[in-house]
Amino acid sequence: MPLAFDRLLRPNLKKFKPYQPGTSVDEVTRRYGIERPVKLSQNENPLGTSPRALAALRSIESLSDYVEDDHAALRTRLARAYGLGRDNVVVGHGSNELLALVFSAFVDPGDAIVIAKPTFSLFRKDADVAAARTIEVPCRDGVHDLAAMLAAVTPETKVVFICDPNNPTGTRVERDALFAFADALRDDVLLVIDQAYREFMDADAADGVDILRRRPATLVLRTASKIYGLASIRFGYGYASPEIAGFLNRVRLPFNVARPAAVAVLAALDDDEFVARSIASNNAGKAQLMSGFARLGLHAYPSAANFVSVAVSVAADTAYLALLERGVVVRSGDGLGMPGRLRVTIGTSQENAAFLEALETLVAVWGEPVEAAR
């Protein structure tokens, strides 16, 4: 008699859909025989990895011992950037782990969280795993509707998530609006500001740490994956009050940050030249893509990140597959809560040009985009 394995699964996960990463280069090569596809799907740094980080990784002579679990030097260095103390910093196996720790530490089954729609999919995923209730507030023109999100907060709300810049739309909120929202939010609600793309934002954008200074129940998330080109080593960090950081440290796994990650990030944090080149490349690439979209009559949200959300006149999956067949890998908005849109990583000049060339041939077939895609 076959075992009824589904009896073991928690009921709230019976219809749960796991996270779906973007299509890999290897998969495109296998499926279409394209040796050098243009990958613009996972918001990676097109310039590669910080040279200082790579040099530091090469200096590691042994991986046989457990490193200190405290990561004092790294946390002190991260804190110094804002004049904070080491106790204000919590580190993790990517910022995604820190998101999961928020639910482990603060959210009981039945508690409510408030998020935008669309926004980073792991907010909803982690809530579903924790059997929490997710209140989704539609974005307005791709931007968090902060007034509506504030109105959605109830006595059962434990956490509000703001993704700034927002993934997948690429937009940011106005600084004064975010400060007003934070001031109005109840003190006993944790405000999580996910700023994975903070380094790409303009000078007038909000910095979540400024909100933390005036509102202790705040967690500001960052990552080394994007600006430093360290996505594969998995390192994220958060700024918080010592109390919030302490609660997160209670539930995290011991030795959650591997030695290669700690060594690479500590070196990358001083690689100002690579950061400057990455920002300059991103700004130039963004202008290149936005100009191309305007020429093709395609609407794109203004981006504060290293990717752009652009509308197409066919189903997003249809557009994604058509580009895939031409060796260009993007993300379909259908799986990201953005029907009728593609999320496109800003690549090198050559990669952007290849994408625009492929897109132009398809737009000629698809016809004019529909206004409703906004």
Residue type at position 132: A
Looking at residue 369, its pLDDT comes to: 62
pTM of the complete model beyond 0.75:
yes
Token digits of residue 31: 């499926």
Judge whether residue 298 has pLDDT over 90: yes
Residue 131 has pLDDT above 60, yes or no: yes
Tokens read off for 278:
């990455």
How many Å apart are CA 28 and CA 365, to the nearest integer? 23
Q: Which amino acid is at 336?
A: L
Residue with tokens 């996270």: 19
Provide the pLDDT for residue 2. Answer: 60
Other Cβ atoms within 10 Å of 145 Cβ, number: 17
- pLDDT of res. 26: 82
The mean pLDDT value for 38-52 works out to 97
pLDDT above 60 (res 374) = no
Region of poorest pLDDT, from 12-21, 31-40, 43-52, 164-173: 12-21
Cα gap 234→35, rounded to integer Å: 27
3-state secondary structure of 329: strand
**What confidence tier does 24 reach under pLDDT thresholds 50, 70, 90?**
confident
Radius of gyration of the chain (CA): 21
Tell me which amino acid residue 147 is: A
- 154 vs 14, more confident: 154
Q: How confident is the model at residue 370 (pLDDT cuts 50, 70, 90)?
A: low
218-223 and 236-240 beta bridge pairing: antiparallel
Q: What is the pLDDT of residue 128?
A: 96
Question: Are 218 and 228 a contacting pair, CB within 8 Å?
Answer: no
pLDDT tens profile 219-251 = 999 999 999 999 999 999 999 999 999 999 999
How many C-alpha atoms does 104 have within 13 Å on its Cβ side?
14
Ordered by where they begin, the domains of the chain are: 20-48+273-367 (3.90.1150.10), 51-268 (3.40.640.10)
- Is residue 1 scored above 60 in pLDDT? no
- 245 vs 255: CA distance, rounded Å: 16
Rounded Cα distance between 143 and 235, Å, is 27
CB half-sphere exposure, 339, CA atoms < 13 A = 3
118 preceded by cis ω (within 30°)?
yes
For the beta sheet containing 236-240, the strands, ordered from the edge strand earlier in sequence to the opposite edge, are 89-92, 236-240, 218-223, 190-194, 157-163, 112-117, 133-138
Across 303-321, average pLDDT: 97
Instruction: Return the pLDDT at 373.
Output: 45
Structure tokens at 62: 């042994």
Q: What is the pLDDT of residues 313-367, one digit of tens each?
A: 999 999 999 999 999 999 999 999 999 999 999 999 999 999 999 999 999 999 7
The pLDDT, as a whole number, for residue 75 is 98
Mean pLDDT of all residues in 155-169: 98
Give the mean pLDDT of the chain.
95
Task: Give the tens place of pLDDT for each residue, 73-109.
Answer: 999 999 999 999 999 999 999 999 999 999 999 999 9
Cite the DSSP H helix spans in 194-271. 208-214, 242-251, 259-268
